[in-house]
Structure 1
Amino acid sequence: MATSNRVLLGLFGHPISHSAAPAMMEAAGAAVGLDVRYHLIEVAGADEGVIRRILDGVRLIGFAGINVTFPYKQAVIPFLDALDPGAAQVGAVNLVTVRDGRLTGHNTDSTGFLAGLLGTVGEAAKSGPAVLIGAGGAGRAIAWALARAGVPEVRVVDQDPARAASLAAEASGWGSGRFVPDDSVPAAMRGALGVVNASPAGMLPDTSSPVDAALLEAGMWVADAVYHPPVTPLLAAAGAKGCAVMPGRAMSVGQAEDGFRLFTGRTAPPGVIGAAFDAHVR
């Protein structure tokens, strides 16, 4: 929690030059009278030694905390002093707070996605099977949210079948629904009523979609964790088919609102973080 007017925050990941996090956090700080300085810590291919040194720097320099994004949401865990219960269950961290020199990992991707899903898809999420594409850090957080939302069956697909199987086995204990690994997106999509992209597919400069448009049907709901661009190829195809869509904005804004409270102990006024996101991501 911030104890002075100036708050030093950051984001660790790669690639992150497009990130809306600085705009969102600095706008939230200004709205409650805090001087938030948000820095991008962009490092490609960081090994364990580099990750340890970066986190030691965060601990020593005076950061109130940092966000963590692809590809380090799981890699940072061994170098933290503690995990909150939600992050421990998810097995991934997107936010680290610094208190008295101790680093604690949290996961606001999970709560942010859940809030977005309930606000856009609502009860329809409980109506039938959903496909989750991507079983990395973001995929694990979204799996937690899907379990909490009451999705009855989630079919997990990943480029690494072992990772999909591991997540499915763990997540089956997170709620009343079941999680099953699947070999391919086309196979998983048979009879599905929802689909979530938790992979980097469609994030600029990539323009691919993780789902062939022919597999989408009116009446389905489609969510994408990618927010750059605001309308990804997947969401564009889903919208054209008459699907209900949840853009990456919902998850990004939701996790930032939760994150700001963890970093500062303050709540951003309604709409401030969303407006900062919209001004940054066009």
Structure 2
Amino acid sequence: MTRNRFLAGLLGYPIAHSAAPAMHEQAAAALGAHCHYQLIEVPGAGRDDLRAMLEGIRRLGFVGVNVTFPYKEAVVDLLDDLVPDARAIGAVNTIVVDGSRLIGHNTDASGFARAIQPLLATTPRGAIALIGAGGVGKAIAFALAGLGIGELRIFDSDPARAAQLADRLQGAIAVRSAASVEAVVDGAAGLVNATPVGMLPNRDTPVPDTLLHPAMWVADAVYSPLWTPLLSAAKAKGAEVMTGRDLAIGAAADAFALFTGMTPSVAAMGNAFDAVMAARYAASA
């Protein structure tokens, strides 16, 4: 691989819907370079499977790969090193190949922080409810802590996982885990879905519509579809909403810069993302 021609990819399942190939390849083209972005879609990979795939990434000339559900936490202790932010979060969504070493980063956190700032600046302050304490949930929690929110409440279908994330954040912000969706949402000024619930082909919602109201804002990390059942219900209730678009683009832009040392055009990546979404909508209409 050279600066002008490089190989990157995405490891996860399911990822056939991903807009990442279009975003990275278009960003490279806008810089006069060529990127091939390979989807590495493997269901049910165990530790030995992941180790073998990571060794292939190390040896096959990749500049790096992104990691998505369900492997963001599973890859952590298979890497040679983690940058401090990724180590604190305990999840990785970007692996950079540095010589023969694999270095873990987390651009979900930086991408979400930039995406959510305009919404936080224009809505009332108050407790924020986070649904999901897995890989992306951890990144979002640390991003919110870095933005100085007043209180974070965390719910996960695995109570121990929610409690562990709350423990990680003790001392940084006021934080607690909750035993139910109702408890975490009650009185919250904002709500973030950091679970795959609502991602196609799933059409469920992580929060009953009856708990949504106009005085709260609602964000979703899912972007396939862009308008999840949760966001559609929240908008119908009159709530301010944020789709997964800006998180996806911001995280991808930060990963591209780590892979290549070049600053990508966020506009080019956004255009590529929007084209993928438009084509998908047209195909399903």
TM-score scaled by structure 1?
0.96
Asked if the contact 1:121/1:221 (under 8 Å) is kept, the reply is no
What SS does structure 2 have at the residue aligned with 1:67?
Answer: strand
What SS does structure 2 have at the residue aligned with 1:51?
Answer: helix
CA distance in 2, matches of 1:272, 1:112: 16
| Structure-2 residue corresponding to 1:164 | 162
What SS does structure 2 have at the residue aligned with 1:252?
Answer: helix
- List structure 1 segments (4+ residues) > 2 angstroms apart after TM superposition: 119-125
Aligned-residue CA RMSD (Å):
1.2
| Residue identity in the other structure for 1:131 | A
CA distance in 1, matches of 2:20, 2:119: 22
Equivalent residue runs for 1:75-114 within 5 Å? 75-114=74-113
Asked if the contact 1:114/1:145 (under 8 Å) is kept, the reply is yes
| Structure-2 residue corresponding to 1:139 | 137
Asked if the contact 2:250/2:266 (under 8 Å) is kept, the reply is no
What SS does structure 1 have at the residue aligned with 2:62?
Answer: coil
Equivalent residue runs for 1:221-260 within 5 Å? 221-260=217-256
| Structure-1 residue corresponding to 2:205 | 209
Q: Deviations over 1:40-75 (max 9, x none)?
A: 001111111100000000000100000000000010
Asked if the contact 2:194/2:222 (under 8 Å) is kept, the reply is yes
CA distance in 1, matches of 2:44, 2:114: 32
TM-score scaled by structure 2?
0.95
Q: Deviations over 1:182-233 (max 9, x none)?
A: 0111121111111000001100111111111111111211100000001111
Q: Deviations over 1:19-45 (max 9, x none)?
A: 000000000000001110000001111
Q: Deviations over 1:86-141 (max 9, x none)?
A: 1011110000000111100000000000100003332537x101110000000000
1:281 matched to 2:280? The reply is no
Gaps of 5+ in 2: 279-285
1:263 matched to 2:262? The reply is no
How far off is 1:241 after superposition?
Answer: 1.2
Asked if the contact 2:76/2:91 (under 8 Å) is kept, the reply is yes
1:195 matched to 2:191? The reply is yes
Task: Give the aligned length.
Answer: 278
What SS does structure 2 have at the residue aligned with 1:204?
Answer: coil
| Structure-2 residue corresponding to 1:220 | 216
Gaps of 5+ in 1: none
Asked if the contact 1:121/1:244 (under 8 Å) is kept, the reply is no
CA distance in 1, matches of 2:260, 2:118: 25
Q: Percent identity?
A: 52
- Over 3 Å counting, the alpha-carbon distance change for 1:79 and 1:222 in structure 2 is same
Q: Deviations over 1:250-274 (max 9, x none)?
A: 1101101111111111111241111
| Residue identity in the other structure for 1:169 | D
The farther-off stretch of 49-58 and 151-160 is: 151-160
| Structure-2 residue corresponding to 1:9 | 8
CA distance in 2, matches of 1:63, 1:45: 23
